Amino acid sequence: MEALDISAATLVCAMGRGLDDVATALRAERSGLRLNDLPWLDVDTHIGRVDGLEDLAFPPALSKFDCRNNRLAQMGLETDGFSGRVAAAAERYGPGRVAVVLGTSTSGIRQTELAYEARDAETGALPADFHLKETHDFFSLADFVRRALALTGPAAVVSTACSSSSRAFVDASRLIEAGLCDAVVVGGVDTLCRLTVRGFGALELLDAQPCRPNDRSRSGISIGEAAGFALLERAGQGDASAAPFARLLGFGESSDGYHMSAPNPEGKGAQIAMRDALRRAGLRADQIDYVNLHGTGTPLNDRAEDAAVSAVLGPDVPASSTKGGTGHTLGASGITGVLLAGLGIRLGFKPRNLNLVEVDPDFRSHILTSTQTGPVRHVLANAFGFGGSNCSVALGAA
């Protein structure tokens, strides 16, 4: 495939607001997880919460879009100078030539939860100020972002569970390849809500402690929230005065349909996704310097991914999960993993597996127990979702 520059990027998550903050926390091995402190979320668990959403100044002209998910999207757009970089791209190509492709798993469902709490006791009618189309509807995220950025190009939302915002890179690259646009705002946003936290609790997949991916004693996930965005352009076509964040070299995707919520024990679909990412990128397995694992912290997921990674890359490629710092950000976990892996290329480090005490002795892949420094040339970032949706993204230095 044609390599594409990630000309600009931004990330807001529990580890920090902006790439510099997140990188500092990651290198310091500092987790952003905390004991649940949201009064409306009555579950005994740790969460990856983003501070300041309740007090964020939301654009008055877009008030119908006001919900937790779009507030986090707005915070992301305002961070790392991202909206300014998109405005410059729109000036170069025209706003109709810049597309928006984003991933989410629940969109603004928290707003619907609030609406149901406020429904009329006698008629059951939802409040008049509840705007389903602009908040809860899946497309509301892309609609809000393109309006906030004054873009008029193609727009779409991908919702394939936890692989959503990795899959957004796939669709974005194809839009550029097809000549339908010259640049794409790609990424994902997901926020905390009762549905996901209580749902994973009902499945007995939540860890009461901060999650411990790949640990011998791992017992579940910690739910987080995040907004991540990247600006994709053809290599060398971006702002000449600013170096690209990284380069998108390839991607691989599969849908194994093994089980509604459990992965294939051998990670067969994950293997296909990683091999296809390597093939499209023109890379051998021994050229990968680091893998950002999906690594949720559940016994089955981590075991299946270990089987897949060791089968495709062997036992020596350094790998780690960063969800011990961010929490599992669901539809935003793909973009979060891609940007965290990209930080390793930019800053020359491979982050340790946060919260890890003892690596599962049955694992065959090389799980990092300490942060390593040194040149990082090529990375893979994995994201695997419920129902067997798998995606792997390959990055290199720009």
Residue positions annotated with a catalytic role:
162, 294, 328
Give the span between the Cα atoms of 247 and 345, in whole angstroms: 10
Look up tokens 């194809």; give the residue. Answer: 174
Tokens of 212: 């411990």
Distance CA 38, CA 196 (A): 14
Write phi, then psi, for 362 (nearest 5 degrees). Answer: -85, -5
> How far apart, in whole angstroms, are the C-alpha atoms of residue 198 and residue 40?
12
In sequence order, the 6+-apart residues with CB closer than 8 A to the CB of 95 are 150, 151, 152, 153
382 by DSSP, 3-state: which? strand
DSSP summary character for residue 359: B
> Rounded to an integer, what is the distance from CA 105 to the centroid of its chain?
11
What is the rounded CA–CA span in Å between residue 218 and residue 236? 44
Nearest CA to 215 among 341, 320, 292?
Answer: 320
Query: Cα(15)–Cα(31) distance, rounded to whole angstroms?
Result: 6
For helices 333-347 and 19-27, angle between their N-to-C axes, nearest 10 degrees: 70
In the chain, which ranges are E strands? 4-13, 16-17, 34-35, 46-48, 98-103, 155-158, 183-190, 223-224, 226-234, 246-255, 290-292, 318-320, 349-350, 366-367, 372-373, 378-385, 389-396
Letter for the amino acid at 379? Answer: V
Q: Is 227 left (phi over 0), alpha (psi -120 to 50) or beta?
A: beta
State how far the Cα of 48 lies from the Cα of 335, in Å rounded to an integer: 16
